[in-house]
Amino acid sequence: MKKILLIAVVSLLVRNISAAPVINEIYPAPLTGEQEWIEIYNNEDAPLYIDHYYLSDLANNKIKLATATIDPFGFTIATSKLKKFTQKLDKVSSSLLTDDLMTKKLKIDLELHFKELNWELVDSIKKFEPSGIGNPTPTFVTKDVFPLDARVVGRDRKHLKLKLRQEDKIFSAIAFGFGEIYVKLSPENTIDIAYRLEENIWNGNRNIELKIKDIKIDESYEKS
């Protein structure tokens, strides 16, 4: 397993440095006869695509990772006996994971108007970096926003690229995993959004981009 771990570290770091996968925990050569495994953690607040990754030892024995995508701040397990590991994990977790714990909650730090989004705010947030679980990036909410333009992006068409307007202020936004609501969006109907601010530099241009964490659509619009 030590050989597998060595190659795993090299493979995960050199093939996709920006994605920041982390080998979080290993369980090598257990004396109990249980299977060995490696836990791979996504320490980013966006999905991590790992379908082209694998672990291998010096003899080139390959172990495919358990999933093609790791959710934000989620993990996956690499093991040659994944089914047995999953069964044991389910048995242990079933009594610990209540419905309340399994309900996804989004903490909102502040409600803002688009006119309050500027470089002074972005630069102030950057002073608190590095961010992480103990120091999360602030999440804001803005209500009554018009989706001027929306298009589905990504290989599996699971994500949205948006152009959003509130009064005379317009911002670009990316919403990972929200492709399915594309058909419900209309430039004539407003939405509420929860998001984080990001600096986007492209071809020498510096722009503020919104990384969408959640979208609320008025149900009355959907029924009309």
How much is the pLDDT for 29? 66
Total number of domains constituting the chain:
2
Cβ of 119: how many Cβ atoms within 10 Å? 12
119 compared with 218, residue with greater pLDDT: 119
Same domain, residue pair 122 and 184: yes
Rounded to an integer, the average pLDDT of 123-132 is 88
Structure tokens at 104: 């996804």
C-alpha–C-alpha distance, residues 48 and 87, integer Å: 25
Same domain, residue pair 18 and 36: yes
How much is the pLDDT for 40? 81
Same domain, residue pair 124 and 219: yes
Residue of 132, 140, 154 lying closest to 47 (CA atoms): 154
Looking at 41, 72, 100, the residue that finishes a domain is 100
Rounded to an integer, the average pLDDT of 155-160 is 90
Rounded to an integer, the average pLDDT of 60-81 is 71
How much is the pLDDT for 70? 83
Beta bridge partners of 215: 193
How much is the pLDDT for 58? 64
C-alpha–C-alpha distance, residues 68 and 185, integer Å: 28
The residue range of the domain holding 62 is 2-100
DSSP state of 136: P
C-alpha–C-alpha distance, residues 99 and 81, integer Å: 28
